[in-house]
Structure 1
Amino acid sequence: MLRRHKAVAAGSLAIAALVATVAPAGASTNETAIARAMTAHQEVAAPVPAALLPALRRDLGLTPQAAATRLAGEARAAATQEALKRALGNRWAGAWLTDADTTLTVATTDPAAARTIVAGGGRARVVRNSLATLDRAKATLDKAARTATPKNTPLWYVDQAANSVVVQSTDTNRTKDFLARSGVDHVLVRVVRASDAPRPLADLRGGDAYYINSAARCSIGFPVTQNGQPGFVSAGHCGQAGSSAAAPDGTSIGTFQGSTFPGNDYSWVQADTSWTAQPQVNNYAGGTVTVSGSAVAPIGSTVCRSGSTTGWRCGRVQQFNATVNYAQGSVFGLTRTSVCAEPGDSGGSFISGNQAQGVTSGGSGNCTVGGTTYFQPVNPILQAYGLTLATG
């Protein structure tokens, strides 16, 4: 969050995972690269912020010890995922974790690669389609949606575990008509009954509240800097370039420098020099979580959200690269989660362990009955505006 004075970070439990590098004797170049990817990461330090623990127990039923074990495994899996993605190249078809443990399941189109992954202690699934193939199919749908937001089709995403593009629909016939017009390969698509009715989560805080043009309220995503100037990222539907941002007490924070919605759902606010970009997220329990980086958590990882309406809520990462068709237009490349949220939480922080993940875009349901929430990944926002994430 942006604070005028430096805050003291909450206490944390320190955990680490150390794996040796081993390659099988007589292995081919490809097999050796994959084997090394399974073990190539150095010690992965994954501190467990104490501020995370109450929400992980409430929302996911994890005891402090179970949470520490889970987050250690997730940090290791995130490093392995990136190394394997590079090693497999066009044979990569995704990876995910299950609720039961943090052994990474890796999908690949290459049976030999799958055998090497299993020999290295992972799980593997041989599939027909590479992730690049599925991403291209989804991009075809996205291109069609840019012309006209499809009605009765609130959402689609690449389901890595199912090795297909899943399209949610409230009217199968209309959705099939849209798919036919889009030109997408129908073999790659699976149409399912819509379970989501997403809408942007804005009323008209990472996680603190701020007000746009002294009226609408949203939540700060992550503090950033640009050429030494402080600021923060948030959702694009919260405000337009030139809009003002103010603290709840009316004190000016700064001005929106960039904003895009629909298409993407991100923005950034340049703050006045009296503010300091602190690498912290409000956990709404009297403490903060320190942000240490922005490594992408694998599918199945625990993730928590901070927002000014419903505070601190946790769940799991469900899918990457989802397209959400809001009434205002389609938004592409969102991450789908089982975390609940409500209006006013928009723009707020999504964090896994101590790693920033994204800013709240929208969702369905609420925090009374539960819901589904989507976030705009943070790394593309940083790249788009040339920002540096505040870390500690």
Structure 2
Amino acid sequence: MTHRSALRAVAAAALGLLLTTAGATSAAAEPAAPDPLNRALQQELGVSAARVDELLAAESAAAAAVPGWRDRLGAAYGGAWVRDGALVVATTDPASTAVIEAGGARPRLAAHSAGELDAVQAKLDAAATAVAEAVGTWYVDPVTSSVVVTTTDRAAAESFVAAAGAAADPVRIEVVADTPEPFAALVGGAAILAVAGGRCSIGFSATSTAGTAFVVTAGHCTEVGGDWTGADGVVIGPSAATDFPGDDFGAVRVADTAAWTPTAEIAGSLPVTGSREAAIGASICRSGSTTGLRCGTVFSHNATVNYGRGDVVRGLTGTTACAEPGDSGGSFVAGTQAQGMTSGGSGDCRMAGLTYFQPVNEALGRYGLDLVTAAPQA
């Protein structure tokens, strides 16, 4: 196998994508899902092939509409999400429900505005330096108009909320079986391997304005430093940048683009045409070197995740797509839109695990990289 084809194989195994314009988006409705993605969504979501295509088109249109509703409703905006393919928009102003309905979305009265809930999360973020390891995540949930705190110990969560000065705020504590962990694995195998020891998954290949190529993956992977190789042991290049904790993204510089050639494809040669953020409630898929292609739905944006040992990461997206050790850094997509790189989670693919990913657009912007996209599908 040539190194060019080897990178394609690694990218396919890890759902590796490549980079063209930072934050590139497409306003068009999502086209029919290519067969591998359609099959994965059918299996994971329990819907028909035709229904998958209907959902992707509706969810793409909903994602494009969300920023406009945020601007239009202003301080009354309570968040938005997708339910059964329809966009739901929350508001604290009863007078605006008719406007929402006339605009083609389903109105929902909210007890609190998005701004109020964001302020509560900011209180919790400010207290994160002293958070107990039993407290796993906290994030704004527009569906219940609250800030959710997950924990394995209710008393620990109550103490954390009180110490943050948020006890009187709309906080909902959920007791869960376990707390999230990064999905890195200190073992050998396929995918992207650290010479210093460790295995992760390719997220997105990348180019800078100067033409240098990179692989973007999870920051808790690149923090080990040193060179990374493909499955055949041939060096891809060194860790070039790491943001972890706080964020969870990093970059590996590709030392020889003649040997390792970026493509605009994901697993099974599926195209990526942009990187518009999917709405809460939308279907989403991820792939990594351990568990391959898995799908679920988005349940939160801007989640804060406590991985313990002082490693708190902000700004992650929560999903019901499972993952396991070694999947870290692998790609998330919604239809043909790139979403981000697997960070960590709880559970596994045998016990309905939850997974969090680092949005790719933040990494692209921080490092000045461009997302290589395929032409939009007809």
TM exceeding 0.5 = yes
**Hey, what does 1:347 align to over in structure 2?**
329
* Runs of 4+ more than 4 Å apart: 5-10
Q: Is the 8 A contact 1:209 1:308 kept in 2?
A: yes
Task: State how far apart, in whole Å, the 1-side matches of 2:29 and 2:346 are.
Answer: 35
Which of 139, 149, 152 in structure 1 is aligned with 2:134? 152
Counterpart amino acid of residue 351 in structure 1: V
Q: CA offsets per residue over residues 70-104 of structure 1, 9 Å max, x none?
A: 11111111111122122223222211112xx2110
Q: CA offsets per residue over residues 172-226 of structure 1, 9 Å max, x none?
A: 222222222212252221222124421111111xxx8101125211001112211
Task: State how far apart, in whole Å, the 2-side matches of 1:42 and 1:139 are.
Answer: 31
**Hey, what does 1:73 align to over in structure 2?**
58
Alignment of 1:129-140 (within 5 A): 129-140=112-123
Classify the secondary structure of the residue corresponding to 1:277: coil
**Hey, what does 1:4 align to over in structure 2?**
4
Aligned pair count reads 351
With over 3 angstroms needed to count, the CA separation of the structure-2 counterparts of 1:65 and 1:112, relative to structure 1, is: same
With over 3 angstroms needed to count, the CA separation of the structure-2 counterparts of 1:251 and 1:7, relative to structure 1, is: closer
Counterpart amino acid of residue 296 in structure 1: E
Structure 1 stretch displaced more, 262-271 or 43-52: 43-52
Task: State how far apart, in whole Å, the 1-side matches of 2:240 and 2:199 are.
Answer: 18
**Hey, what does 1:63 align to over in structure 2?**
48
Task: State how far apart, in whole Å, the 1-side matches of 2:299 and 2:3 are.
Answer: 32
Which of 59, 64, 70 in structure 2 is aligned with 1:85? 70
Q: Is the 8 A contact 2:222 2:251 kept in 1?
A: no
**Hey, what does 1:260 align to over in structure 2?**
243
Alignment of 1:163-182 (within 5 A): 163-182=145-164
**Hey, what does 1:31 align to over in structure 2?**
none
The TM-score, its normalising length taken from structure 1, stands at 0.84
Task: State how far apart, in whole Å, the 1-side matches of 2:202 and 2:8 are.
Answer: 17
Classify the secondary structure of the residue corresponding to 1:370: coil
Classify the secondary structure of the residue corresponding to 1:44: coil
With over 3 angstroms needed to count, the CA separation of the structure-2 counterparts of 1:151 and 1:115, relative to structure 1, is: same
Structure 1 stretch displaced more, 135-144 or 340-349: 135-144
User: Unpaired runs of 5+ in structure 1?
Assistant: 11-40
Which of 38, 45, 48 in structure 2 is aligned with 1:53? 38
Classify the secondary structure of the residue corresponding to 2:169: helix
**Hey, what does 1:187 align to over in structure 2?**
169
Structure 1 stretch displaced more, 232-241 or 302-311: 232-241
**Hey, what does 2:203 align to over in structure 1?**
221
With over 3 angstroms needed to count, the CA separation of the structure-2 counterparts of 1:369 and 1:172, relative to structure 1, is: closer
**Hey, what does 1:389 align to over in structure 2?**
371
Counterpart amino acid of residue 64 in structure 1: A
Counterpart amino acid of residue 57 in structure 2: A
Classify the secondary structure of the residue corresponding to 1:184: coil
Q: CA offsets per residue over residues 153-177 of structure 1, 9 Å max, x none?
A: 1111111101110112222222222
Task: State how far apart, in whole Å, the 1-side matches of 2:354 and 2:109 are.
Answer: 29
Structure 1 stretch displaced more, 66-75 or 123-132: 123-132
Q: Say what the alpha-carbon RMSD is for the aligned residues.
A: 2.3
Classify the secondary structure of the residue corresponding to 1:295: coil
Q: Is the 8 A contact 2:134 2:156 kept in 1?
A: yes
Classify the secondary structure of the residue corresponding to 1:254: strand
Task: State how far apart, in whole Å, the 1-side matches of 2:8 and 2:316 are.
Answer: 31
Counterpart amino acid of residue 297 in structure 2: R
Q: Is the 8 A contact 1:51 1:288 kept in 2?
A: no
Give 1:7 deviation, angstroms.
6.7
Q: Is the 8 A contact 1:46 1:75 kept in 2?
A: no
Task: State how far apart, in whole Å, the 2-side matches of 1:81 and 1:244 are.
Answer: 41
